[in-house]
Chain A
Amino acid sequence: MNVEVAFDRDFVLAELITPKDANEMAAALQVMLASPIAVLDAAGRHFGGTPPTSAAQRAPLTLELEPVGFLAGDCAADRLNAAAGVFRWGLLSRARFRMTSDLHLEAVRADYAKLQQQNEALGNSEKKFRKLSETLDAKVKEQLSVIDARQRQLYQAERLASIGQLAAGVAHEINNPLGFIGSNLSSAERYVASFARLQPSVPTEVWRALDLDFVLEDFSCLLKDSRAGVDRIARIVKDLKGFSSIDQPEEQFVDLNAQLESLVSIINGQKPAEVSIETHFEPLPPLLCLPGHLNQAFLNILQNALQAVGSRWVIRILTRASAESITVHIADNGPGIPEEIRSRIFDPFFTTRRVGDGTGLGLTVAHDIVLAHSGSISVLSPTDGGATIAVEIPV
């Protein structure tokens, strides 16, 4: 059976009954009607039974509106019509059976196609979930590391804030006595000059016995040294304030070169005398950042470099600007960073120093701070030795 045909097509006689069955039916009817009976198709051609005479009557076999065939025979019209009615019932049953089975086939195919679609959709979603479960572990780890980094940033921010508060308090407390020490020193210089004018009135032997020439000269030197000391204290306080950015807790535009300058002055006090720090600053555009945090980052990198070079070497700080970003290179000529640990130096609690010497957080914190500024930090190993930490921050 051809499954491609439509269930609702118009049937022709040959689809509903075979010539052999038509012959049998006609033979049976012939006995009942006592007259030869023919079965004709819709066009009136002989299909089965005894071929009709030219005078034969016809009774239509109509399933819907138009006949699919005829019964023909030489007998009374009412008899022939009654026989056609019986014959028609047979055809109608066949037609209904064919329609039902063809429709059933179409429906089954439709349902099957739909099931296949659903199956495919299910398969796809299964694939999706399988993939998801495969990556889930990695995703969880990724999220954990993000949380970890955020926690460290938070810890660092709190630490910076408390350092800032401490620095602000210390700066305030030192500034006041510094003020009156400075002004007292000025007074003292004036007083020394007054004492010098006493010489003519003092007997020469007394002046000499007390060695007042030396006293006056040394007094001036002492005052001058003290003045230099006070100025130095004032500068340190200023640098400390600048470094911790205690006055600037919010994001703001700064000149990174100036920040690095103040950092270098702080470091200069800590470093061994043999180590020199060279700076090569190119003019930079203003950078919107958290200055206190960035300073902390660069301080950590510098301290790391200082420990690497020991006591003999040079640290270079270079700054450079492009249209999109500012680059800072902090290079030392120390032993360099071995290839095998280069990927781990930003990991928390990774340290090459003895327990107690370092926390293993210095570069991690620097890394987090640079990342928080949407920047990147990387290690370069120049061919001429040493190590370079490159920081790039978008403008």
Chain B
Amino acid sequence: MPELDQGANRLTFKLVYYGPAQSGKTTNLIQLHDLAVAEMKGELMTLETQHDRTLFFDLLPLGFRTSSGLTIRFRLFTVPGQTAHDGTRKAVLSRADGVVFVADSQRGQATNNGESFNNLAENLARVGLVLDRLPLVVQFNKRDLPDILAEDDIRQRYVGAPWPLLFSAAVQGSGVRETFAALLHQVWRRYAGELELSRVHGLNEDSFVAGALGVSL
């Protein structure tokens, strides 16, 4: 559940980029830092890395103020993808309000994607979150690489799944904003009612997404 700080009049959404090792989670945040033109945008905080691979997490803060004076803040985290860092992954995932699952489109990575998704489901259960009720979008990244699964095949595979499917080439910046926007739409639909974002704060789905991204998508 998003954290509402009454004193500071601030609402915080924790959004987590999850996925197998080296699928491009950090790249998503780096690009988003450049592409998003939110009213409030912090620096991308990258914690320790080892050979360019995330050891703890990355954090990108974005935010905007509503006409009602509420500060809406999005804290975007990445998890370390390597299998060995499961404890860290679980800790980062706890208290998440939404998840982007960043899958690797390369043919050889299907197994890693599957294992990582299972790990996501497992860790969600361990931190007390329910997969069916959590805003989630699936991004197939690395569309710029040569040996990748066809879009149609992937859509075919996910035909029964309830989550929005997005395709991206994060290193080139394509699909990154669209993925984040898709998650924001999910987040709005999940929480807007409970938090009275329309009634009290004069927001609607589009202005919510536009506030976070600086553009309407």
B42 touching A65 by the CB < 8 A rule? yes
Given contacts A8-B14, A64-B61, A65-B42, contact A107 B47 (CB under 8 A): no
Residues of A within 8 A of B91 (CB): 7, 103, 106-107, 110
B25 smallest CB distance to A (angstroms): 16
B86 touching A96 by the CB < 8 A rule? no
Residues of B within 8 A of A8 (CB): 14, 59, 75, 77, 92, 95
Q: Is A133 an interface residue (CB 8 A)?
A: no
B42 touching A114 by the CB < 8 A rule? no
B71 touching A66 by the CB < 8 A rule? yes
Nearest CB in chain A to that of B48: its residue: A100
Contact residues, B83-122 vs A (CB, 8 A): 85-88, 90-92, 94-95
Q: Is A160 an interface residue (CB 8 A)?
A: no
Query: Could you mark each residue 54-69 of chain B with 1 if its beta carbon is under 8 Å from any beta carbon of chain A, else 0?
Result: 0011010111000000
Residues of B within 8 A of A62 (CB): 42
**Can you pick out 12 interface pairs between chain A and chain B where the beta carbons lie within 8 Å of each other?**
A8-B92, A10-B12, A62-B42, A64-B42, A96-B45, A99-B56, A100-B56, A106-B87, A106-B88, A107-B87, A107-B90, A110-B86
A1 smallest CB distance to B (angstroms): 16
B125 smallest CB distance to A (angstroms): 13
**With A and B bound together, what is the CA distance between A103 and B91 in angstroms?**
7
**With A and B bound together, what is the CA distance between A7 and B77 in angstroms?**
12
The 7 closest A-B pairs by CB, nearest first: A107-B87, A106-B91, A111-B87, A110-B87, A64-B61, A107-B88, A64-B42
Query: Could you mark each residue 34-45 of chain B with 1 if its beta carbon is under 8 Å from any beta carbon of chain A, else 0?
Result: 000000111001
Q: What number of A residues sit within 8 Å (CB to CB) of B?
A: 22
Q: Is A6 an interface residue (CB 8 A)?
A: yes
Residues of A within 8 A of B77 (CB): 8
Q: Is A108 an interface residue (CB 8 A)?
A: yes
Q: Is B73 an interface residue (CB 8 A)?
A: yes
- Interface-central residue, B45, B62, B85, by most chain A CB under 10 Å: B45
Nearest CB in chain B to that of A112: its residue: B87
Residues of B within 8 A of A109 (CB): 87
Nearest CB in chain A to that of B62: its residue: A65
Contact residues, A83-126 vs B (CB, 8 A): 92, 96, 99-100, 103-104, 106-111, 114
**With A and B bound together, what is the CA distance between A42 and B5 in angstroms?**
15
Contact residues, B113-164 vs A (CB, 8 A): 126
Given contacts A65-B61, A108-B87, A110-B87, contact A6 B48 (CB under 8 A): no
Contact residues, A234-263 vs B (CB, 8 A): none
Task: State which of B56, B73, B85 has its C-beta within 8 Å of the C-beta of A65.
Answer: B73
**With A and B bound together, what is the CA distance between A104 and B56 in angstroms?**
8
**With A and B bound together, what is the CA distance between A40 and B166 in angstroms?**
45
A114 touching B86 by the CB < 8 A rule? yes
A257 smallest CB distance to B (angstroms): 68
Residues of A within 8 A of B86 (CB): 110-111, 114
- Interface-central residue, B86, B87, B92, by most chain A CB under 10 Å: B87
Residues of A within 8 A of B61 (CB): 64-65
Given contacts A8-B14, A65-B40, contact A103 B71 (CB under 8 A): no
Residues of B within 8 A of A64 (CB): 42, 45, 59, 61, 73, 75
**With A and B bound together, what is the CA distance between A77 and B12 in angstroms?**
31
Task: State which of A7, A66, A107 has its C-beta within 8 Å of the C-beta of B85.
Answer: A107
